[in-house]
Amino acid sequence: MNNKSSNEEKKAVSRRSFLKGAGVTTASTVAMSAGLLSFKAPETAPKRPPVLGPGDTEVRLEVNGQQESVWVEPRTTLAEALRDHLHLTGTKVVCDRGSCSACTVWLNDKPVCSCMTLAVDAEGSKVTTVEGLADGDTLHPVQEAFIEYDAAMCGYCTPGMVMSCAGLLKRNANPNLDDVKAATSGNLCRCGTYPKVFEATLAAAKKM
């Protein structure tokens, strides 16, 4: 929704230097409290993770085979990072609450709701979006089958649906109807393409 203008990008860069400074402060805070703790229990001093935010923080991801780095607020979801920062708008945000699976992407090859995943939690991960599913000009068999069986109507749920179905075929090359239903049980389609999604996914499995 909120596309970053280059102005904001600049701001993000300046925040980076701020964060570097802030990092030092944070570290010394940790050291101080660790010192206090060490007074009581020297061996078990916990190492707290560095505090992120409130400003932007860097997140490095491998998105569709490309190394990417984005500067986002810690509250930014993976869906927002993909859409607003990397301009990969194929991933759709529909409920923003984990209730519809429209935002499904693969995180380290497993389907997740990108609206329920913080971008910072995906740091260092491999992300595959619907834009990265095809192998160059060769569509993924699920994509082919969705076209063949007219399994998209308005198309808005389709990227999530395709990622769920292709995700299923990745872990189960020979699924039955119940497997397809289980894999897409979270994907809502208001146009009612479900019967065609079944057909398309089963057909794609046969071709793979």
Partner 1 sequence: MKNIDSKGHVTGKSIYLDDIPTIQGTLYGVVFGSPVAHGHIDAVDYSKALAMPGVIRIITHKDIPGENQIGGIIPDEPLFATNEVHFQGQPIALIIAESDHLASEARKCIELKISEKEIIVDPRVAQQKGELIQPPRTFALGDTEKAWAKCVHVFQGKADTNGQEHLYIETQGAYAVPMENGNIRISSSTQGPTAVQRTTAWVLGVGMHKIEVDVVRLGGGFGGKEDQATPWAVMAALGAQLLNKPIKVVLNRMDDMRMTGKRHPYSSDYKIGLSEDLKIIAYEATFFQNAGAAADLSPAVMERTLFHATNAYFVPNVQVTAYSCKTNLPPNTAFRGFGGPQGMFVIESALAHAAHELNVPTYVLQKKNLLKNGDEFPYGQIAADVGLQHIWSDMESKFDIQAVEKRIRAFNANHSDQKKGFSLMPVTFGISFTKTPMNQARALVHIYSDGSVGVSTGAVEMGQGVNTKMLQIAAQMFSLDPERVKLESTNTTRVANTSPSAASATSDLNGKALQKACNALLERLKQSAADHFGVSPGDIELKNEQVYSQGKATSMSWNQLVDMAFLQRICLTENGHYATPIINFDKTKEKGHPFAYHVHGLALTEVSIDCIRGVYEFDAVKIVHDFGKTMNPSVDIGQIEGGLVQGIGWMTMEELNYDNQGRLRSNSLSAYKIPDIYSVPKEVLIEALETDGNDMAILKSKAVGEPPLMYGIGAYFAIENAIRAFNPSFISTFDAPFTHEKVLLALYNHYGILENSKTGIRSSLSGNADVRIAQ
Query: What distance, in Å, lies between the first and last C-alpha atoms of the chain?
Result: 36
Binder among 70, 81, 100, 204 for partner 1 (CB under 8 A): 100
The binder of 1, among ligand FES, partner 1, none, by C-beta within 5 to 8 A per type, is partner 1
Query: For ligand FES, which stretch binds (CB under 6 A), given 20-28, 99-107, 138-146, 168-176?
Result: 99-107
Tokens matching residue 117:
């995943």
Residue among 48 and 190 whose Cβ is closer to partner 1: 190
Q: Establish if 114 lies at the interface with partner 1 (CB under 8 A).
A: no
Provide CB contacts within 8 A for 60, sequence distance 6+: 67, 68, 69, 123, 124
Q: Does the protein bind ligand FES through residue 99 (CB under 6 A)?
A: yes
Closest of 65, 82, 95, 162 to residue 122, by C-alpha:
82
Our finding on whether 176 is near partner 1 (CB under 8 A) is no
Nearest-approach distance from CB 83 to ligand FES, in angstroms: 11
Handedness of CA 151, 153, 156, 157 (dihedral sign): negative
Q: Pairing mode, if any, of strands 57-63 and 66-72?
A: antiparallel
Question: Are the C-beta atoms of 169 and 142 separated by less than 8 Å?
Answer: yes
Q: How many angstroms separate the Cα of 177 from the Cα of each of 147, 157, 200, 202?
A: 19, 20, 11, 7
Residue 115: name its binding partner from partner 1, ligand FES, none (Cβ under 5 to 8 Å by kind).
Answer: ligand FES
147 binds, among ligand FES, partner 1, none (CB under 5 to 8 A by kind): partner 1
Which residues are 58's β-sheet partners?
A: 71
Residues that bind ligand FES (CB under 6 A): 93-96, 98-103, 113, 115, 152-158, 189-191, 193
Residues that bind partner 1 (CB under 8 A): 1-3, 5-8, 87-92, 94-97, 99-100, 102, 129-131, 133-134, 139, 142-143, 146-148, 150, 152-159, 162, 181, 184-197
